[in-house]
């Protein structure tokens, strides 16, 4: 137990890094971490370093796992399931299939023209950006394991229910006709060697870090400002635990924004530190990561506006409901 | 030889195009390189990850930015 705790503190929460950042702020810069300026610099240095270290290690490990689940294979696996089981497997595979928002259209077309039910495809599309193996460990690092698992379960539930709803609503007629008339050729699969997988994992680390570093810096920057410069009573006046509309506000603000989950975490961290409810913070994270205008606009080429609007509404409402549920039962997790 | 790069204009798609042009040039091949950006056209190749490289109507690689040397091996 003691060893696990030590591992949790030093490896996951990186207490040593916090101490190091504190030494730097105090001895090199001559500021106190109790001060506003010193405190925000400490938050910034510690969070940026921590996220980048965790991100690199995690992406490497996760990409290795993901190399076993290319979309072509996921498509095949999903073809064997129907109904709610299909939605659940779709949501689960969404967490391990490597996915970049620029591929969401070819993936959607590929799944749909292969005859996968719309509901299962949407379960996959909802869970994919929302729940990601890396985000689980980052959540555990920043908050704790219980919250991390709760977030994952919540994300999966949202994906399963959202997909089931879209499936039941019989929306196939709102998919552009070319998607169905598209004859899909199966691309030959060649087995990857361990070497290939390691190379792929290494490449992914570079690609992802290159893609998200700016989001992280901005996210941590905003987090540092919230952490040390915005008075607690201002935040709690709008987003406080006792404000019933807090979840609604963050969801509606978060939906049009898009950032990577890694950039969003530090903002959520600072909000919770300032007394914002855990459900509110999680809703914010989900709203920012799950729905983004660019990917919606891209989806527009394959589906009609009606289906797009329903997808959008289902996910938004789901996020809001989950936020309220977490605020109500969040005390069990802290 | 007709080489097609399938992609919607993302950064990786452009990178793959550049590398392909370099490879073709270094090998001194007489090949035409086309960019396919239309989603419907891309879907027809059965590609679910972009960018993808198509040589003489055969999908060679999907979802990966090949290095110049790797493309050369494919072209030989």
Tell me which residue of A331, A245, A273, A240 sits closest to A42, measured CA to CA: A273
pTM: 0.80
A163-205 confidence digits (pLDDT tens): 999 999 888 888 887 777 766 666 656 677 888 888 888 888 8
Interface touch A187/B10, C-beta < 8 Å: no
- In DSSP notation, A152-182 reads HHHHHHHHHHHHHHHHHTT-GGGB-HHHHHP
Asked if the C-beta of A83 comes within 8 angstroms of chain B's C-beta atoms, the answer is: no
Domain residue ranges in chain A: 2-182+194-332
Tell me whether A1 touches chain B (CB under 8 Å).
no
Using the beta-carbon criterion (under 8 Å), do A70 and B49 form an inter-chain contact? yes
Give the CA angle between residues A46, A8, A59 to the nearest 5°.
Answer: 65
Domain B2-75 has CATH 3.40.50.11890: no
* Band (A293; pLDDT cuts 50, 70, 90): confident
pLDDT in tens, chain B (76 residues): 899 999 887 778 888 999 999 999 999 888 899 998 888 888 888 888 888 899 998 888 888 888 898 899 888 7
Question: Which one is catalytic: B5, B6, B13, B61?
Answer: B13
User: What residue of B is the nearest CA neighbor of A300?
Assistant: B39
| Cβ neighbours of A105 in B, within 8 Å | 8, 39
Nearest CA to A152 among A71, A95, A90, A85?
Answer: A95
Chain B interface includes A302 (CB < 8 A)? yes
**Considering only residues 38 to 77 of chain A, which have any Cβ-Cβ distance to chain B shorter than 8 Å?**
70-72, 75
Q: Are B74 and B45 in contact (CB under 8 A)?
A: no
Counting one residue from A and one from B, how many pairs have CB atoms under 8 Å apart?
56
The verdict on a CB contact (< 8 Å) between B46 and A110 is yes
| CA-closest candidate to residue A159, choices A219, A222, A94 | A94
In chain A, beta strands by DSSP E: none
């Amino acid at each position: 137990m003691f060893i696990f705790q030590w591992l949790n503190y030093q490896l996951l929460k990186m207490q040593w890094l916090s101490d190091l950042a504190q030494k730097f702020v105090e001895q090199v810069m001559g500021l106190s971490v109790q001060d506003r300026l010193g405190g925000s610099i400490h938050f910034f240095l510690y969070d940026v370093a921590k996220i980048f270290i965790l991100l690199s290690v995690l992406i490497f490990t996760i990409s290795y796992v993901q190399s076993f689940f290319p979309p072509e294979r996921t498509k095949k696996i999903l073809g064997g399931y129907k109904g709610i089981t299909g939605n659940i497997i779709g949501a689960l595979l969404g967490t391990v299939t490597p996915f970049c928002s620029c591929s969401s259209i070819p993936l959607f077309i590929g799944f749909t023209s292969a005859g996968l039910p719309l509901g299962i495809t949407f379960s996959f599309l909802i869970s994919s950006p929302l729940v990601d193996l890396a985000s689980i460990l980052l959540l555990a690092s920043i908050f704790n394991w219980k919250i991390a698992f709760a977030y994952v379960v919540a994300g999966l539930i949202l994906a399963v229910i959202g997909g089931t709803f879209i499936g039941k609503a019989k929306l196939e007629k709102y998919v552009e006709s070319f998607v169905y008339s598209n004859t899909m050729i199966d691309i030959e699969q060649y087995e990857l060697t361990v070497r290939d997988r390691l190379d792929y994992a290494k490449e992914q680390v570079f690609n992802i870090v290159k893609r998200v570093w700016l989001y992280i810096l901005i996210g941590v920057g905003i987090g540092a400002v919230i952490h040390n410069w915005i008075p607690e009573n201002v935040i709690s006046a709008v987003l406080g635990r006792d404000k019933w509309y807090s979840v609604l506000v963050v969801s509606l603000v978060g939906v049009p924004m898009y950032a990577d989950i890694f950039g969003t975490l530090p903002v959520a961290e600072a909000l919770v530190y300032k007394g914002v409810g855990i459900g509110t913070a999680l809703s914010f994270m989900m709203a920012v990561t799950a729905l983004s205008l660019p990917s919606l606009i891209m989806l527009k080429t394959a589906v009609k506006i009606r289906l797009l609007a329903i997808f959008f509404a289902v996910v938004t409402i789901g996020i809001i409901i989950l936020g309220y549920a977490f605020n109500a039962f969040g005390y069990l997790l802290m | 030889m007709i080489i097609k790069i399938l992609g919607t204009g993302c950064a990786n798609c452009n990178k793959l195009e550049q590398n392909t042009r370099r490879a073709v040039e270094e090998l001194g091949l007489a090949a035409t390189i086309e960019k396919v950006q239309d989603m419907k056209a891309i879907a027809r190749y059965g590609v679910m990850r972009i960018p993808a490289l198509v040589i003489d109507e055969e999908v060679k690689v999907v979802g990966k930015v090949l290095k110049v040397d790797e493309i050369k091996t494919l072209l030989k």
